[in-house]
Structure 1
Amino acid sequence: MLDTIPAWRRWPGALLRWLLPPCCALCGMRGEAAVCHGCESAYVAARPRCPVCANPAGELDAALPCGACLAAPPAFDATLAAFDYAAPLDGLVLQLKFGAQLALAPWMALALHREAGRTALPPPELLCPVPLGARRLAGRGYNQALEVARPLARLLGAELAPRLAQRVLETAAQSGVAPGERRRNVRGAFAVADAGLVRGRHVGVVDDVMTSGHTLDELARVLKQAGAARVTNFVFARTPPHRINHE
């Protein structure tokens, strides 16, 4: 409890907060939250989506898989996305991924948890982040998907398995690969470290953004081969279809 912590151990943190007060990542207003209430009210709004791939859908179609998922069903069973990957919220993904703004990760997890509460999706038993390759992890120093998965696992009451999925091939970043080549780029990139942990269970896969969906599809395929009963994606942002060909 806070009262049991000596005052001399509390003052450095209080001094740091006074010298460098937390600010909203979008508008810069001082406050305790990573994104202030005003920006949440202005930019955060739930929208109907395909329950499988989370692409935007009409109000009457949101309960059913979209035409693309019916024509070519992915290996995953469902996708939950908090927002579209569009301005200004796309900047938060970039701040977390490339700017080491790790304080954004708990806020993203909370947004995903709220979105999960609006759906009838069954909660996952196991939660794992999309893994980075060793070279990219060494260069960045952290895995942004794991930073979101840690608080999300606590919120969902799921077991966190940070090393369950392993990237066994160093692949080019999907953002730098032509859309038509992205599926081939990640083929065979993943392995499951412990099939016994997966077998018969509902696995949640966490990532910061979903663009073409090929990375998550490949990882879900490997998890299903290892015996997963169900795979649900939890992504902070979903790139709308009209933007995919321009990235």
Structure 2
Amino acid sequence: MHCQPGYKHKVYIWSKTVQTCLVCDEATESAECICNVCETELPWLMEHCDVCALPLPMEGLICGQCQKHPPAFNQVIAPWTYSFPIDSLISRFKHQARWPLGQMLAQLLAQHLQHRFDTTGLTPPDCLLPVPLARKRLRERGYNQALMLAHWLSSNLSIPHDEHLLLRPHETVAQQALDAKTRKRNLLGAFALAPDAQVQGRHFALVDDVLTTGATAHSLARLLMNAGARQVDVYCLARTPKPGS
């Protein structure tokens, strides 16, 4: 008995379609949404500070800022420097709701992290924590890009994420236009833990799109460490170079 109706025309098979690179719009010739050429030419972060991932001229060094004022977080893992085309891709994801770009970057970050877990002894965290967005900016934008990244990373790496553990009860001035010292003052008292937060003895990784001065990451990591966290790492897409470099 043949229940399937006959159909002589071509059938759309999603698994056989040619994927288009989200960077150059050329066919990728694979199931990936970025072609091999574009992936190779991304501004991969090479030599950097072992703590904050600031680009440095040599590997295995700790930058002067981290030596003078060690941050509360253990280390920053970022695949790229914040330069073209990564800066454009992140901006379009963050401000223009180009979510496929964010998902592509999160997938590449997950691959980078898994490689580090497998080859360098980097310890996976117990939980991923997205950096909370101020309520006013969340209403204006409609979504928190850090939460979306954490969700995609959680799915790719099979590491749970918690969007409710960290709170941002107080509004602050946007960090982008502030210098390093003003950023730190701006964040005083900006964050809090949820009343039922389970922190004691746990290893967390903060998730965000870009790390600039590290003030936000330091403030959140200090909050977690003071509450008894065992370790706090930072996972982000890109690290900005030192101004003027």
Residue 53 (1) aligns with residue 55 (2): no
Measure the CA separation in 1 of the matches of 2:199 and 2:148.
21
Output one character per residue of 1:200-237: Cα deviation in whole Å (capped at 9) or x when no partner. 01000000001111011111111112211100000101
TM-score with structure 2 setting the length: 0.83
3-state secondary structure, aligned to 1:65: coil
Measure the CA separation in 2 of the matches of 1:151 and 1:39.
21
Structure showing greater Rg: 2
Runs of 5+ unmatched residues, structure 1: 1-10
Q: Which residue of 2 aligns with 1:227?
A: 228
- Preserved CA contact (<8 Å) 2:43 2:81: no
Of all paired residues, the percent bearing the same amino acid is 38
Measure the CA separation in 2 of the matches of 1:170 and 1:33.
39
Instruction: Give the letter aligned to residue 200 of structure 1.
Output: G
Q: Which residue of 1 aligns with 2:178?
A: 177
Measure the CA separation in 1 of the matches of 2:183 and 2:45.
28
Instruction: Give the letter aligned to residue 228 of structure 1.
Output: A
Instruction: Give the letter aligned to residue 73 of structure 1.
Output: P
How much does 1:165 deviate? 0.9
Aligned length in residues: 227
Output one character per residue of 1:93-133: Cα deviation in whole Å (capped at 9) or x when no partner. 10111010111223222222233223432111110100111
Q: Which residue of 2 aligns with 1:29?
A: 26
Aligned-residue RMSD, C-alpha? 2.4
Measure the CA separation in 2 of the matches of 1:121 and 1:67.
24
Query: CA 1:131/1:22 → structure 2, altered by over 3 Å: closer, same or farther?
Result: farther
Measure the CA separation in 1 of the matches of 2:206 and 2:165.
10
Measure the CA separation in 1 of the matches of 2:222 and 2:179.
22
Q: Which residue of 2 aligns with 1:3?
A: none
3-state secondary structure, aligned to 1:115: helix
Instruction: Give the letter aligned to residue 41 of structure 1.
Output: T
Q: Which residue of 2 aligns with 1:75?
A: 72
Residue 98 (1) aligns with residue 95 (2): yes
Q: Which residue of 2 aligns with 1:205?
A: 206
Query: CA 1:12/1:128 → structure 2, altered by over 3 Å: closer, same or farther?
Result: farther
Measure the CA separation in 2 of the matches of 1:29 and 1:191.
45
Instruction: Give the letter aligned to residue 220 of structure 1.
Output: A
Query: CA 1:23/1:173 → structure 2, altered by over 3 Å: closer, same or farther?
Result: farther
- Preserved CA contact (<8 Å) 2:54 2:241: yes
Output one character per residue of 1:122-147: Cα deviation in whole Å (capped at 9) or x when no partner. 11111010011111111111110111
Q: Which residue of 1 aligns with 2:5?
A: none
Q: Which residue of 1 aligns with 2:105?
A: 108
How much does 1:26 deviate? 2.3
Report which of the two has the higher share of helix.
Answer: 1
Query: CA 1:115/1:50 → structure 2, altered by over 3 Å: closer, same or farther?
Result: farther
Instruction: Give the letter aligned to residue 236 of structure 1.
Output: L
Q: Which moved more, 1:102-111 or 1:208-217?
A: 102-111
Instruction: Select which of 84, 87, 94 maps to 1:87.
Output: 84
